[in-house]
Amino acid sequence: MSADRFVRELVRAIGREKVLTGVEDLACYAYDATPAAPRICPAAVAFPACADEVAAVIRVAAAYRNPVVARGAGTSLSGGALPVDGAVVLSLAGMDAILELDAENMVAVVQPGLVVGDLVAAAERVGLLYPPDPASVAMATMGGSVAECAGGLRGLKYGVTRDYVIGLEVVLADGSVARFGGKTVKNVSGYDMIRLFVGSEGTLGVVTEITVRLVPLPPDRRTMLVSFEDLAAAGRAVAGIIAGKVVPATMELMDKVAVEVVESFAPAGLPLWADAILLVELDGLPEVVAHDAIVVEQVCRVEGGAVRVAADDAERDRLWAARRGAFGALARHSPTTIVEDATVPRSRVPDMIVALQQIARRHGITIATMGHAGDGNLHPTILTDEGDAEEMKRVQAAVGEVFAAAVALGGTLSGEHGIGTEKKRFLAQEFDATSIAAMRAVKRALDPQGILNPGKLIDVERAAGQTAAESRE
Ligand SMILES: Cc1cc2nc3c(=O)[nH]c(=O)nc-3n(C[C@H](O)[C@H](O)[C@H](O)COP(=O)(O)OP(=O)(O)OC[C@H]3O[C@@H](n4cnc5c(N)ncnc54)[C@H](O)[C@@H]3O)c2cc1C
């Protein structure tokens, strides 16, 4: 099989101007946001303009049994969008339209390349909210969010991407197009294929159209900054607020390291004396927000927290910009920033925080702890240098222990960043052999040649046999 022939067929299928082959250009696609990962240049990058062109690319790839890696904005943190050897990267970034914003049915129909923040802004203009809110909201695409089942800051109260997707158009591994669901909020016809495709990391099909439900924009909101002298006390406050039957829209934790780095990068008035802060946002009817604010304040004070309510929108925006910029700030602090997203039941957040502190001490490394603490989704962020081989050995050992601790506390390897290439080797910690075999059976059934994002999420041997293209040679 010749790579040149494969690329020539791609060009024939969708046009020269939609296929990138220059070596320097291809190098840009050897990356996503995953740190310390292998960088492999793809054989080509295809820029389809519609589902038919996505299907045409996949048909060529299927004929040559050539890997296809779908790509949105390339902000994956688990290696999902990284090319494998000889792959064609299928960039969906140009398919970025809002096809319909149906305010009456509180539904939007969008293309996969639409940036999540653009949907949030469009929905707000008609008094509606699209709640999934990854910190990467200004870059990440809807297709990438569906493929990773992105969560984010509002996950605590509103859930994650899978809670909003009610319809999908998907190009399957042979280039045929399937449609599931639609505009109805209720739909139990057939298998729940939407849940299967959401979070499948581009390994089962390529999403070309997404229908999501929207919710009314909450009429009131209040942001509170709570500062603690003790990180463990912040963890206990998180558990206490939930136990007090208050579900904030957002409850973000940042430890001392994260606060110091953020303040040195872009000062937002975060307290440098604190061992940890919680950023809490309540939303809903004004009377509900007022009631919940009293509960949050009481619980935090019991744990020794100092509470400040954002005085106006400008202060609110400054605080949230600090949180959203935290990864960027941490990335400037050290050459390599490894962000994990091991997740535990909410009540075990204090135990996980203690476990992280012990792991950092044991291995002599720096872990900044931050994340969506309200839903148990911590982002222990290891500040390191991939050029330091000795330290990287200790980091790798620590990463394994982070996952082991999360699973031992009844948690999961990933709350929202996906498995990709980075956590595959830990799958057996969370799943038994039967469960892994069931996942492999799904992958084999939908992608028998193993061409869709191979090597991601789960390893499956490729089916033997000659491709149509090989037999023509
Ligand atoms: C600074 C920063 C902050 C972040 N914060 C959060 C956060 O708070 N919450 C969170 O959940 N994540 C977060 N992320 C991770 C990342 O932004 C999300 O996983 C996001 O959903 C990826 O979207 P993307 O468009 O960049 O997808 P990509 O990185 O391009 O791709 C991700 C995966 O989706 C697949 N894919 C892409 N498009 C399609 C498609 N149309 N059909 C099928 N498969 C497809 C790819 O093959 C790949 O496996 C963060 C990342 C960064 C860099």
Q: Is 73 in the pocket of ligand 1 (CB under 6 A)?
A: yes
The per-residue pLDDT for 464 is: 57
Q: Over the range 155-191, which residues count as b (16 or more CB within 10 Å of their CB) and which as e?
A: bbbbebbbbbbbbbbbbbbbbebeebbebeeeeeeee
Does the pTM surpass 0.85? The reply is: yes
The per-residue pLDDT for 472 is: 47
Domain limits for position 224: 219-311
Question: Do 26 and 152 fall within a single domain?
Answer: yes
Pocket test for ligand 1, best of 29, 88, 136, 341 (most atoms within 8 A of CB): 136
Q: Which residues of the chain have pLDDT under 70?
A: 1-2, 462-473
- Closest residue CA from atom 5 of ligand 1: 135
Q: Is 135 in the pocket of ligand 1 (CB under 6 A)?
A: yes
Pairing of strands 220-228, 206-213: unpaired
The answer to the question of residue 323 being in a domain is no
Counting from 1 in the atom list of ligand 1, the atom nearest the Cα of 205 is 43
Question: Do 172 and 185 fall within a single domain?
Answer: yes
The answer to the question of residue 75 being in a domain is yes
Interval between CA 150 and ligand 1 midpoint (Å):
7
The per-residue pLDDT for 347 is: 83
Tally of domains within the chain? 3
Q: Is 71 in the pocket of ligand 1 (CB under 6 A)?
A: yes
The answer to the question of residue 326 being in a domain is no
One-letter amino acid for residue 23 of the chain: V
pLDDT digits (tens, 9 = 90+) for 281-300: 999 999 999 999 999 999 99
Q: Is 161 in the pocket of ligand 1 (CB under 6 A)?
A: no
Q: Is 202 in the pocket of ligand 1 (CB under 6 A)?
A: yes
Burial group, residue 412, by CB count within 10 angstroms (0-12, 13-18, 19+): middle
Question: Do 388 and 415 fall within a single domain?
Answer: yes
Question: Do 143 and 201 fall within a single domain?
Answer: yes
Question: Do 110 and 238 fall within a single domain?
Answer: no
Report yes or no: 71 and 90 within 8 Å, Cβ to Cβ: yes
Name the residue with tokens 């400008």: 314
The per-residue pLDDT for 421 is: 93
The answer to the question of residue 316 being in a domain is no
Q: Is 67 in the pocket of ligand 1 (CB under 6 A)?
A: no
The per-residue pLDDT for 80 is: 96
The per-residue pLDDT for 473 is: 47
Question: Do 111 and 225 fall within a single domain?
Answer: no
Question: Do 89 and 184 fall within a single domain?
Answer: yes
Task: Provide CB contacts within 8 A for 335, sequence distance 6+.
Answer: 384, 385, 386, 387
The answer to the question of residue 329 being in a domain is no
pLDDT digits (tens, 9 = 90+) for 130-143: 999 998 999 999 99
Interval between CA 74 and ligand 1 midpoint (Å):
6
Question: Do 243 and 353 fall within a single domain?
Answer: no
- Closest residue CA from atom 27 of ligand 1: 144
